């Protein structure tokens, strides 16, 4: 069962392991939804308030009340950093400049049964802030802050920088596990929902080499 990082009567933030999908897949393996009965309070729910890619680890928000679900989804839809969503990623190479903003619209492109997000002028607005936290062995630990919430936004924007997420099977070389962590999530409510996820095992050594223990 995923560890619980935050819990009250309204919601949970769980630490989703890399490799665990949020929904059941065709292979009928385990998913986050398998644990919903243990987290239920009342007759209905819980519900996913947002989603993480299967290979992304870290903070996943789950609503226990329908009223909170609607409130959280409205906040998440506002963009412009209304909800604090911080990600850490190991990138191939080191981006120049140390920090910046990626303002590059994204659109879904399908080829046969495969799809990906691509930077296109007529795509949906997508903005990401980034800064290098440290480097080691020709790779970099980069913190991303989402100002919008597009599908695969960090992965597509990192590739657009010329430095894809290590292990990314769609936008990078797919060698090893994808190194992307939903590090911190904060919803600025009257009673805030806030959680920070520890690095997964496959990222911990690199992060320690870059910035020490966290």
Please tell me which residue, 200 or 78, carries the higher pLDDT value: 200
Distance, CA of 26 to CA of 54 (rounded, Å): 13
Please tell me which residue, 80 or 12, carries the higher pLDDT value: 12
User: pLDDT digits over 28-77, tens only?
Assistant: 789 999 999 999 988 888 999 999 999 999 999 999 999 999 999 999 88
* pLDDT at residue 27 in the model: 67
Mean pLDDT of the chain: 94
Domain of 80, CATH number, reads: 3.30.2350.10
Please name the helix (run of DSSP H) or strand (run of DSSP E) that holds residue 125, with its range, or none: none
Distance, CA of 96 to CA of 113 (rounded, Å): 35
Which is the catalytic residue, given 53, 55, 168, 173? 53
Domain count across the chain: 1
Q: In which domain, by residue range, is 132 found?
A: 3-211
In a 13 Å sphere around the CA of 166, the CA atoms on its Cβ side amount to 21
Alpha-carbon torsion, ordered 147, 150, 152, 158, to 10 deg: -40
User: pLDDT digits over 80-99, tens only?
Assistant: 778 999 999 999 999 999 99
Q: What is the pTM of this model?
A: 0.94
The percentage of the chain sitting over the pLDDT mark of 90, rounded to a whole number, equals 86
**Does 8 participate in catalysis according to the annotation?**
no
Distance, CA of 57 to CA of 5 (rounded, Å): 13
């Amino acid at each position: 069962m995923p560890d619980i990082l935050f819990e009250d009567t309204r919601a949970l933030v769980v630490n989703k392991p890399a490799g665990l999908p949020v929904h059941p897949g065709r292979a009928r393996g385990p998913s986050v939804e398998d644990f919903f009965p243990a987290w239920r309070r009342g007759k209905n729910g819980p519900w996913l308030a947002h989603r993480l890619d299967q290979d992304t680890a870290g903070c996943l928000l789950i609503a226990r009340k329908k009223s909170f679900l609607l409130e959280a989804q409205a906040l998440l839809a506002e963009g412009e950093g209304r909800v604090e969503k911080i990600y850490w990623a190991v990138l191939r190479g080191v981006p120049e400049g140390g920090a910046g903003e990626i303002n590059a619209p994204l659109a879904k492109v399908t080829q046969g049964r495969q799809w990906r997000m691509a930077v296109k002028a007529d795509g949906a607005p997508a903005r990401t802030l980034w800064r290098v936290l440290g480097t080691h062995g020709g790779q970099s630990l980069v913190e991303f802050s989402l100002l919008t919430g597009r599908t695969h936004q960090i992965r597509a924007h990192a590739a657009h920088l010329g430095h894809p997420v290590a292990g990314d099977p769609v936008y990078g070389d797919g060698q090893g596990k994808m190194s992307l962590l939903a590090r911190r999530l904060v919803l600025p409510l009257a009673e805030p929902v806030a959680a920070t996820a520890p690095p997964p095992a496959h990222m911990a050594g690199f992060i320690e080499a870059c910035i020490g223990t966290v």
